[in-house]
Amino acid sequence: MSLRVKLEDIIEGLEFQSDESQSFLDKRTGQVVLINEEEQNAAEDDEPIEDFPDWQQDQVRIAKEIIDETGDYIPLPSKFDIHEYSIMEKFCLSLNDSEMSDTLYSLIKGSGAFRRFKDAIQDYGIADDWYNYRNNALREIAIEWCQANAIEFENS
């Protein structure tokens, strides 16, 4: 029996990652779990699970399984694999209005690029277009990841 997951769960797992957290797919259940740095450090340091609040104990236990390489968890593409900056560049270049495209493209250069970009898409009234574009890019990344890992998915 092959593993079947909800594509939306994979996409959500991609969206919630940060510098301090990583998402994994539990191959036994098809569930996506997010492990933060504190939970990973606790598992690496073999801290007693009882030292954590009830709500966090399962997460530390899962982090321990991941670190022990039980083979039950597959890491989702990290935020570095996703490279949201590249998605922003492609969005800027995809715009039909060349002046807007050029302006946005120049705004995403250098420090503070994400903030300037988000402000500009609000000013131009194209925030919904950006979020749809970004969601489609994440969907493609999720599909490619599922295919590369021989994971069946269902669109929801």
Query: What residues contact 28, with CB distance under 8 A and at least 6 apart?
Result: 72
What per-residue confidence (pLDDT) applies to 66? 93
Judged on CB neighbours under 10 Å (0-12, 13-18, 19+), 69 is exposed
pLDDT band at 55 (very low <50, low <70, confident <90, very high): confident
What is the arithmetic mean of pLDDT over 13-32?
94
Phi then psi dihedrals of residue 5, to 5 deg: -125, 165
Highest mean pLDDT among 45-54, 67-76, 90-99 belongs to 90-99
Higher pLDDT, 125 or 55: 125
Residue 33, H or E segment: strand 32-36
- Give the residue extent of every domain in the chain: 4-77, 83-144
Q: What is the pTM of this model?
A: 0.87
Residue 124 identity (one-letter amino acid): Y
What per-residue confidence (pLDDT) applies to 3? 78
